[in-house]
Structure 1
Amino acid sequence: VVRKNPPVREYQDCKLFTDEWGVTWKMPKHGGFYFDLAESPLSGDITERDRIRGYEQFYSDLVINPKLACKLMDKFVQLKIEFYKIAAEKLGKYIQFVREGDDIAGQDCLLISPEMYRKFLKPRHRELFKAQKEIFPQPFYCFFHSDGAIYDLIPDFIEIGVDVLNPLQTTAKGMDASVLKKEFGREISFWGGGIDTQRTLPKGSPEEIKRQVKERIECLAPGGGFIFGAVHNIQDDVPPENILAMWHTFMELRNY
């Protein structure tokens, strides 16, 4: 297909551009004549409607203009559901889970109260997860990403159909791995939590890495329901030997 109005006209445009579908493509920072998908209109969280209203304004809307906030969130949920219907029609037999997420907590507390979550976000999460399980062929699993101190909301996630919780930020307040496994391990699976990516992985010794990986597997693996992974993406300040220590320890203990 030859476009009459190509989105890239000059070489300098190549580093970042948005196509006619609203999808943003970005050239890798180290160069190369290819593009990575950087952003999609349907990516992200329900609360990321703050891109339309602004971060501060969106959360203010939940209090002073809830009708508008709800309208934005409902529209986003419906767009996602329509997209999933198309995806299921084309690729349904290959899809076993969909990654959703809402980062609604910092490292010490939630960004909104549990009451506000249950009033505004929970009904929309429920609608989205219910639709996914109806649209995609079984077996299908709801994968939900939420960083930070989310302990108080885990029972809510279980109630609305979340099967897999990620990333299990074990250094956040109230997110002790042993407590989470004991209280929720029979009802939800954990994806992540295998190594702390803020302190241990970038700053620890290989021996400390090995010790923590072993401790996490011994804590989270019994009875199943644990998919090993780091708490978050491995950053560029992590020494290669620490990555190898994590990997080799996991490979030694992976048959859990």
Structure 2
Amino acid sequence: MVANAPKDKVRLGMMWSAHFQDTCAAFGMETALMNMIANPEIYEAVDEKVMDFYLKANKIFYEATKGELDAVLIGNDMGSQRGLMLSPEMVRQFIIPGAKKLVAQAHEYGLKVIYHSCGSIRDVIPDLIEAGVDIVHPIQALAAGMEPQELKAEFGDQVSFCGGVDTQDLLVNGTTEEVKAKVKELRTIFPTGLIISPSHEAIMPDVPPANIKALFDEATEIY
């Protein structure tokens, strides 16, 4: 129960609300992307139905937890290792309008919004900021254009970030000292404005427990 959560910790809810992913699933990804180009009104009609569901479901959740949460995580996976899965213009047309509605709804309940998308999404971070997103999740460490130093320089005064500790190679194959060094580097780049965590929300079974401990030990170290 939320009421049993520690009072000195951030209380986070997760209402995935992945309208882009679900609309694509309704058609099949290839057909959905083709409809965006050839039949956008058909794609948008289905997306509107998905959005209606999420706005209603989220309202039920927010009402039930009113005053008991600090933040919520929502999102859509729209990035690959090398770039966006669709053009920035298409993201702005088909994804950002829904993001704005979902973010505004969460803000009405006094919640900070963590917006998730895997991959290289640097080209649309300004659009997420304009949509009202408070925290971008994650910094996928090995994705193109997601270098922490550059993200801090370009966006650090406009939005916070979460992630940065690579789960594709470092946490799997690195030593505990290499993990600690990366965490310390991230803390130096982001004295504030970064929630240090694995670069994906899931830590897979191939990550040694010692590396998980090293991450959290260094992240909570008082210098």
Instruction: Tell me if both proteins adopt one fold, taking TM over 0.5 as the criterion.
Output: yes
1:234 matched to 2:207: no
State the secondary structure of the residue aligned to 2:204: coil
Distance in 2, matches of 1:239 and 1:175, equals 25
Residue 201 of structure 1: aligned partner: 171
Ranked by relative contact order (alpha carbons within 8 Å, sequence separation 6 or more), the top structure is 2
- Please, what is the CA RMSD of the aligned residues? 1.6
Residue 122 of structure 1: aligned partner: 96
Among 196, 204, 212, which residue is 1:243 paired with?
212
Residue 11 of structure 2: aligned partner: none
Residue 94 of structure 1: aligned partner: 68
Residue 225 of structure 1: aligned partner: 193
> What's the offset of the Cα at 1:164?
0.8
Calculate the TM-score normalised by the size of structure 1.
0.76
Does the CA contact (< 8 Å) of 1:108 and 1:149 recur in 2?
A: yes
> What's the offset of the Cα at 1:144?
0.2
State the secondary structure of the residue aligned to 1:247: helix
CA deviation string 1:181-203 (max 9, x = no partner) = 1111111111111x111111100
CA deviation string 1:25-75 (max 9, x = no partner) = xxxxxxxxxxxxxxxxx8451222222111111111111221111011111
Distance in 1, matches of 2:114 and 2:179, equals 27
After the TM superposition, which residues 13-24 of structure 1 pair with which residues of structure 2 at under 5 Å, given as runs? none
CA separation of 1:88 and 1:205: change in aligned 2, threshold 3 A:
closer
Structure 1: which amino acid aligns with 2:207? V
Unpaired segments ≥5 residues, structure 1: 1-41
1:188 matched to 2:159: yes
Residue 103 of structure 1: aligned partner: 77
Among 52, 57, 60, which residue is 1:83 paired with?
57
Distance in 1, matches of 2:63 and 2:151, equals 37
> What's the offset of the Cα at 1:207?
1.6
CA separation of 1:128 and 1:241: change in aligned 2, threshold 3 A:
closer
Does the CA contact (< 8 Å) of 1:166 and 1:191 recur in 2?
A: yes
State the secondary structure of the residue aligned to 2:83: coil
> What's the offset of the Cα at 1:160?
0.7
Distance in 2, matches of 1:130 and 1:247, equals 32
Aligned-residue sequence identity (percent) comes to 35
Calculate the TM-score normalised by the size of structure 2.
0.87
Equivalent pairs, count: 207
State the secondary structure of the residue aligned to 1:70: helix
Distance in 1, matches of 2:91 and 2:188, equals 33
Does the CA contact (< 8 Å) of 1:81 and 1:132 recur in 2?
A: no
Distance in 1, matches of 2:117 and 2:107, equals 20
